[in-house]
Amino acid sequence: MVKVMVTLGLIAVNEALIAQGNLSIWIGFAAFRWILIHALECMLLYLMYPFGPPDRQ
């Protein structure tokens, strides 16, 4: 799963760099990657609870 996401991220970076070598692309990619990692962390925390999220226990 992680390997697939890293590969997709590298492909996206390569395409962006080929299209135009702007610094804004790197800023956007860093923001996108941060959002993606944050969403994955939230999902893992959600799944690690034995009976779902704590507010439903």
Contact (CB, 8 A) for 17 and 25: yes
pLDDT at 3: 82
pLDDT at 50: 66
Residues in the chain: 57
Which long-range contacts link 2-6 to residues 24+ away (Cβ below 8 Å)? 5/36
pLDDT at 21: 63
Beta bridge partners of 50: 52
pLDDT in tens, 2-44: 787 778 777 777 776 666 666 777 778 888 898 899 889 888 8
Return the domain boundaries, the chain.
Answer: 2-56
Backbone φ and ψ for 51, nearest 5 degrees, come out as -120, 35
